[in-house]
Amino acid sequence: MTHSAPPEIWPDPQRATLFEQWLAPLVGPHGLLPQTLACASSDASSRRYLRIQAQAGHSFIIMDAPATPNQVAPFVAVGLQMAACGLHVPTIHAHDEALGFALLEDLGSTSYLQALRQAQQAQDLPAAQALMRDATTALLRWQSCGQAGNAPDLPRFDEAFVRRELQIFVDWCVVTHHGKQWTPQQQGYWDRTVTALAANIATQPVVPMHRDYMARNLMVCDATQGNPGVLDFQDAVLGPITYDIGSLLRDAFLSWEEAEELDWAVRYWEGARRAGLFGMDANGEDPHDMALDFGLFWRALEWTVLQRHLKILGIFCRLKHRDGKPHYAEDLPRFYAYVVKTATRYVELSPLLRLMEDLQPQLLQTGFSLR
């Protein structure tokens, strides 16, 4: 290979050498143009994505996943499952699990996050509705197909999993970011909150769960190819039915009016009922209470997303204080507002509200806005 990538693309010379050795035998078969290699995107992990052009006029994406445990193997496994269920995920043209490289189909450069922000700014609700409808349809397809036995090897999002995630909030948001040490009374408030959130998740129907089904991980694609294109699915698990739709509606990087959230949630709930995702008894009836009462489904969704938002508060603080990525902290106010809004609504969550008042007193004193 005659074209070495510039140091800004590969700050680690050893990693650059490994990449060039891996890429060299792929250049001819795929018509790659190594000199066109450029950064495409990065995420909150150590994973990065590069774009490389091909002689035929199209481009490929290269996943660079050097961390341990390596993420290429689960990316390949879950991607195959999703593709078998009819979702539009990147075709994997080559990969090396040991090195942490993969050559992927390029799903374009327009994410749902960009498209939905543009729709919000233009007050173009029909455009947003069309995108969200496609995302909901794809999610239901994945959950229906996977529940039928096409996602058997996914780990379970169980109580231990939930508690580990919530501890991230304590360690990094409460202790590290705010410098707080809880009193025994405050620890009791937290223990009651964790028990309530874990119980909510444990009582829901179980489906395949992306774990980060949000606008940033969905790509706007032509309908003939399948919209949306789905990314970042390597952390998929089997978990509560409300998790992914809740992640989509209460996004990490943009927010909606509650009337819009409810409209999209009802459409998802109706689709889930038709697909039998709440379970069917011998008489063909829905045995789960959430299938019969949207209010119960919405409550479960809010509580499930609350668990996610507490985890994300911890992760964003960890990114700032441990990983040197302070820009994620710019979205912390959105999550504080999400948490306070939900905790205010349910008397069972009043212990969490007391803890949030200690961390963010201004939110409870002056009100808050998500937009």
Domains of the chain: 13-17+29-105 (3.30.200.20), 112-366 (3.90.1200.10)
pTM of the model: 0.91
In contact, 23 and 96? CB cutoff 8 Å:
no
Q: Are 62 and 50 a contacting pair, CB within 8 Å?
A: yes
CB 203 within 8 A of CB 117: no
CA–chain centroid gap for 240, Å, is 14
> What is the structure's pLDDT at 288?
87
CA distance 291 to 172: 37
Q: What does the DSSP assignment read for 83-120?
A: HHTT-B---EEEEETTTTEEEEE---S-BHHHHHHHHH
Residue 51 parent element (H or E): strand 48-53
Q: What is the DSSP string of 133-181?
A: HHHHHHHHHHHHHIIIII-TTPPB--HHHHHHHHHHIIIIIIIIIT---
The Cα 299–Cα 293 span in angstroms is: 10
Which residue carries 């090195």 as its tokens? 99
pLDDT score, position 265? 98
Closest CA to 230 of 115, 76, 74, 87: 87
Asked whether the beta carbons of 305 and 269 are under 8 A apart, the reply is no
Q: Do residues 364 and 339 lie in contact, with contact meaning Cβ atoms separated by under 8 Å?
A: no
Indicate the DSSP class of residue 32. Answer: B
Task: Supply 241's token pair.
Answer: 């039915």
42 CA to centre of own chain: 14
Q: What letter does residue 361 receive in the DSSP assignment?
A: H
Residues contacting residue 65 through CB under 8 Å, at least 6 positions apart: 46, 47, 71, 72, 75, 100, 101, 102
pLDDT tens, residue order, the chain (371 aa):
445 555 568 888 999 999 999 999 999 999 999 999 999 876 656 788 999 999 999 999 999 988 766 789 999 999 999 999 999 999 999 999 999 999 999 999 999 999 999 999 999 999 999 999 999 999 999 999 976 556 668 999 999 999 999 999 999 999 999 999 999 999 999 999 999 999 999 999 999 999 999 999 999 999 998 999 999 999 999 999 999 999 999 998 899 999 999 999 999 999 999 999 998 544 556 578 999 999 999 999 999 999 999 999 999 999 999 999 999 999 999 999 999 999 999 999 999 999 999 998 887 665 544 44
Instruction: Please report the DSSP string for 202-214 in residue order.
Output: HTSPEEEE-S--S
Closest Cα to residue 40, out of 98, 111, 116?
Answer: 111
Could you check whether the bond before residue 6 is cis, i.e. omega within 30 degrees of 0?
no
Distance CA 103, CA 276 (A): 37
DSSP state of 230: E
Closest to 145 in 3D by CA, of 191, 93, 187, 82: 82
Give the number of other Cβ atoms within 10 Å of residue 109's Cβ. 12
